[in-house]
Amino acid sequence: MMGTQAMEMDHTGVKGGLLIGGTWRDAPRCIANRSPSDIDDVIGEFALGDAADVEEALHAARTALKTWGRSNPQWRADILRRTGDILLREAGRLGRILAREEGKLLVEARGEVMRAVQIFYYFSGECLRPPGQFLPSVRDGFNVTVAREPVGVVAAITPWNFPIAIPAWKTAGALAFGNTVVLKPSEITPASAAIMADALAEAGLPDGVFNLIGGLGADIGTALIRGADAVSFTGSGPTGRIVLMEAARAMKKVQLELGGKSPIVVLADADLDLAIDNAIDGAFRQTGQRCTASSRIVVEAAIHDEFAERMAARVAALKVGHALEDGHDMGPVTTEAQLAKNIAFVGEAQGEGAELLCGGHALERRTRGHFFAPALFAGTDNAMRLNREEVFGPVAGIIKVGDLDEAIAVAADTEYGLSAAICTRNLTAAEKFRREVPSGMVVINGSTSGSDYHAPFGGRRGSGYGIREQGNAAAEFFTEIKTTYFNHALAPLGAGGGVKF
């Protein structure tokens, strides 16, 4: 039965924060997990760990690695499959917890839970499909095998905007290939990760294979990075650079998934209704709190005015409210600090001369929450701060361009390179865009947001560093290559005219 750490998924206290070696622990310091829809709604109290807790968790993970790293792949597959089954069983209640703590609408929260289920199912299959090679040697009497081995103890550091999907794809991928994990979820949304930890335990995962450390990055980040064999981080660019420098100093394998300033280009021949749907989905769904958000809307001049007018009407009509209540198009902003950041960006954009078409202000609702009217600007250019820096909220600017070449130039003019989209009926234009935009992901006639769990995810330049996540790219990060030479003929080295190195 689920509930190792009193994971009551209703409106009573959810607890967790420190899972070390299979045991949930209390700590001197705790943090209250409050709902952004109603700050009087406390989901629970979560323990905050310190460097000593991290050292214990790393030791537990390294001890468990001795067995888990050599375990039968069918056993690992069964555990991951059962974890998916448990999350599926609990999807309704877990969706409510996620919506309460993160603020995304209930339908979006349930969708994220189902994504976590699918991820565990996918990686349960990957346990039985480890990549490898058998090669004929250039030396007589030899064969060569190229095998994959676990990288070791993986430190997974995850953000608040996808509090179960991102922990799931890091954890399931690592476990599938025989690694052990120490997960540090965001202190802003700790409940979903704690519930995932209980699901893994119920599924039969041995003690110490998965450990969870709640806490502040400044308190535990350095110890976690230095003590692990590999670090997988998703979060902001500035924090990612700190992680990279610390990992490089300790010669650790590192994977960074960072921010974005994703453009969606709308050409004059586009299906305008579809283009507006895609732009709204990318910029404003899940309150715009996605690294793949379409925060730059690049529109060809011939249709610019009509597009701006129609999109502004659609955005102004979006209903903002409590994440658990029906009839809303957007939930609250997750944190008070993010709400203030959104408002500040709006004010600065207006100061730079952008035209605010709608929204851009805090909203009063019946509960005390962080509600914000989605903001859409026209008359922006790519030099404005609004179009240079990641807002991470429902704030977007329309940029007018003359043609496809200018659209591609604008799309490429950014330090980021995560996702880019184009709306057009012209296959030649779509292919030119795909080839020339320096982005890790490109979407034709769709939103910049959204990805498949069985395909690689990640970006270039300031949007990412290292090997991509998900799909077959996961094996590249979570394993190390070992090349073995077999002298099956017991022949002397170099016999038969082969080349010896």
Q: Quick one: 325 and 237 in the same domain?
A: no
Q: Quick one: 324 and 415 in the same domain?
A: yes
The total domain count for the chain is 2
Helix (H) or strand (E) holding 74: helix 73-89
Residue 499 belongs to some domain of the structure: no
Q: Quick one: 193 and 328 in the same domain?
A: no
Residue 5 belongs to some domain of the structure: no
CB proximity list for 273: less than 8 A, separation 6 or greater: none
444, 470, 496 — which closes off a domain?
444
Partners of 255 in beta bridges: 232
Compute the distance between CA of residue 166 and CA of residue 172 in angstroms, rounded to an integer. 10
The residues annotated with a catalytic role in the active site are: 257, 291
Q: Quick one: 90 and 139 in the same domain?
A: yes
Q: Quick one: 183 and 312 in the same domain?
A: no
Give the CATH number, domain containing residue 435.
3.40.309.10
Residue 490 belongs to some domain of the structure: no
Q: Quick one: 390 and 474 in the same domain?
A: no
Partners of 219 in beta bridges: none
In the numeric block, which tokens belong to residue 37? 């829809």
Q: Quick one: 72 and 120 in the same domain?
A: yes
Q: Is the dihedral of CA 146, 152, 158, 164 positive or negative?
A: positive
Task: Kindly report the pTM of this predicted structure.
Answer: 0.94
Compute the distance between CA of residue 78 and CA of residue 176 in angstroms, rounded to an integer. 10
From 259, 267, 237, select the one nearest 421 (Cα to Cα): 267
Residue 449 belongs to some domain of the structure: no
Residue located via tokens 């299979």: 22
From 304, 493, 487, 291, select the one nearest 392 (Cα to Cα): 291
What pairing do the DSSP bridges indicate for beta strands 18-20 and 14-16? unpaired
Residue 340 belongs to some domain of the structure: yes
Q: Quick one: 24 and 151 in the same domain?
A: yes
Q: With 0-12 CB in 10 A as exposed, 13-18 as middle and 19+ as buried, what is 31? A: middle
Give the CATH number, domain containing residue 50.
3.40.605.10
Compute the distance between CA of residue 190 and CA of residue 14 in angstroms, rounded to an integer. 10
Compute the distance between CA of residue 276 and CA of residue 273 in angstroms, rounded to an integer. 5
Helix (H) or strand (E) holding 471: none
Compute the distance between CA of residue 234 and CA of residue 94 in angstroms, rounded to an integer. 22
Q: Quick one: 207 and 314 in the same domain?
A: no
Domain membership of residue 414 as a residue range: 263-444
Compute the distance between CA of residue 162 and CA of residue 61 in angstroms, rounded to an integer. 24
Q: Quick one: 106 and 240 in the same domain?
A: yes
Helix (H) or strand (E) holding 486: strand 479-487
Residue 500 belongs to some domain of the structure: no
Q: Quick one: 249 and 337 in the same domain?
A: no
What pairing do the DSSP bridges indicate for beta strands 210-213 and 18-20? antiparallel
Specify whether the CB–CB gap between 208 and 60 falls below 8 A.
Answer: yes
In the numeric block, which tokens belong to residue 105? 């609408």
Residue 488 belongs to some domain of the structure: no
Q: Quick one: 403 and 338 in the same domain?
A: yes
Per-residue pLDDT of the chain (501 residues; tens, 9 = 90+): 334 443 343 434 556 789 999 999 988 899 999 999 999 999 999 999 999 999 999 999 999 999 999 999 999 999 999 999 999 999 999 999 999 999 999 999 999 999 999 999 999 999 999 899 999 999 999 999 999 999 999 999 999 999 999 999 999 999 999 999 999 999 999 999 999 999 999 999 999 999 999 998 888 999 999 999 999 999 999 999 999 999 999 899 999 999 999 999 999 999 999 999 999 999 999 999 999 999 999 999 999 999 999 999 999 999 999 999 999 999 999 999 999 999 999 999 999 999 999 999 999 999 999 999 999 999 999 999 999 999 999 999 999 999 999 999 999 999 999 999 999 999 999 999 999 999 999 999 999 998 999 999 999 999 999 999 999 999 999 999 999 999 988 755 555 544 445
What pairing do the DSSP bridges indicate for beta strands 479-487 and 142-150? antiparallel
Specify whether the CB–CB gap between 439 and 417 falls below 8 A.
Answer: yes
Specify whether the CB–CB gap between 7 and 33 falls below 8 A.
Answer: no
Residue 2 belongs to some domain of the structure: no
Burial of 71-91, coded b for 16+ CB within 10 Å and e otherwise, reads bebeebbebbbbbbbbbbebb
What pairing do the DSSP bridges indicate for beta strands 30-35 and 38-47? antiparallel
